[in-house]
Amino acid sequence: MADMDHALQPPARLRGLASWQASKVSTLGARLTARRMPLGARADFAVLAALEEYGALSQAEIGRRLGLDRNDVSGILNRLEDCRRVDRQADPANRRRNVVTLTAAGRRHLEQLQQHADAVQAELLAGLDTAEQRQLQALLAKLLDSHKPQPA
Amino acid sequence: MADMDHALQPPARLRGLASWQASKVSTLGARLTARRMPLGARADFAVLAALEEYGALSQAEIGRRLGLDRNDVSGILNRLEDCRRVDRQADPANRRRNVVTLTAAGRRHLEQLQQHADAVQAELLAGLDTAEQRQLQALLAKLLDSHKPQPA
DNA sequence: AACCAACGTTGGCTTGTCCAACATAGCAGG
DNA sequence: CCTGCTATGTTGGACAAGCCAACGTTGGTT
């Protein structure tokens, strides 16, 4: 038994490697998310959340805030616009830009996704007590802040 | 200034979402890794580390310990075998299995990759002090342990 | 003998991340 | 004015990771 437990452990060289750990936690989160959310909902959630918090944004601003490429923002907005969850119009003040706005349907969809996200969050962090969960979130946030300039 | 800082922040709905944070940290680690390591070296490192720590393994065991699919293990081993970094032979005791062994070249390559991994690790965690780094690693390890049964 | 489970392989599909090229629009210099 | 330079949005494709399906082989069970 103890032998089998030991046999299933990942090697020590990986157990303490933060980039490997983060990758595994990330795919774990992706699996849990996939069970509850419709297809491609993760990116949608991020974009809708940005619009809800900051109001109208250009696509480039969305990308900068979320760490996404312009290209991918474009595709996500196509999906969202098809479902009438965002409104995309040329900015009269700067015709290079598109002003993206959250619609009522988009706001409703955001709240739905938020519930799924909360459920996934609880499931993912179930093995940690409340204090540990907050610690983990704080440490990850600090780590990400320290790398802010880099993302595209 | 403070305005612009605020403008670049991701929305609050995401900042505290562990699955989103982990995903971002993961891609950050991938970016840092890609700058130093040859192509496809992350999976190679994991497999070589497993062989170094546990000795000869079957492909299925490698997959279980690393949370990888059999399919992907197969491909990784093709790469490693082409470079003579592992040896793959049918198990005489159970002809379904392949016994995978680390070669001297594989061991050398592992140590090289370990150095790169250490550098990436340091860069990734640079924004945290030593105590915070250990805390983060411990919390991630505990989280992963709590989900052990699930991975394929 | 017949059935089922495990193993390794091939092939393909989906996400997420990223890069290159293009056309348009604003801006700065002369 | 005209000439670059930058920013923006779009299209297309490359690439790694993760996953699933199917197949043939082998081992174990009944």
CB within 8 Å: B25 and A144: yes
Question: Cα–Cα distance between B72 and B127 in angstroms, integer?
Answer: 34
Choosing among 1.10.10.10, 1.10.10.1100, 3.40.190.10, 3.40.30.160, the CATH entry for B36-146 is 1.10.10.10
Please, which residues have CB within 8 angstroms of residue B95's CB and are 6 or more apart in sequence? none
Mean pLDDT of B7-36: 93
Confidence at residue A149, expressed as pLDDT on a 0 to 100 scale: 61
- Other CB atoms within 10 Å distance of the CB of residue B10: 23
Q: What is the CATH number of domain A38-146?
A: 1.10.10.10
CB within 8 Å: A13 and B53: yes
**Is A33 (CB) below 7 Å from strand D?**
no
Confidence at residue B152, expressed as pLDDT on a 0 to 100 scale: 38
Helix (H, G, I), strand (E, B) or coil at B86: strand
**Radius of gyration of chain B from its Cα atoms, rounded to whole angstroms:** 19
Q: Is pLDDT at A2 greater than 80 in this prediction?
A: no
pLDDT-based confidence at residue A140 (cuts at 50, 70, 90): very high
Mean pLDDT of A15-38: 94
Q: Which chain A residues are closer than 8 Å to B22 by Cβ?
A: 22, 25-26, 29, 140
pLDDT in tens, B62-95: 999 999 999 999 999 999 999 999 999 999 999 9
Q: Is pLDDT at A23 greater than 90 in this prediction?
A: yes
CB within 8 Å: A21 and B145: no
pLDDT-based confidence at residue A148 (cuts at 50, 70, 90): confident
Q: Is pLDDT at A85 greater than 80 in this prediction?
A: yes
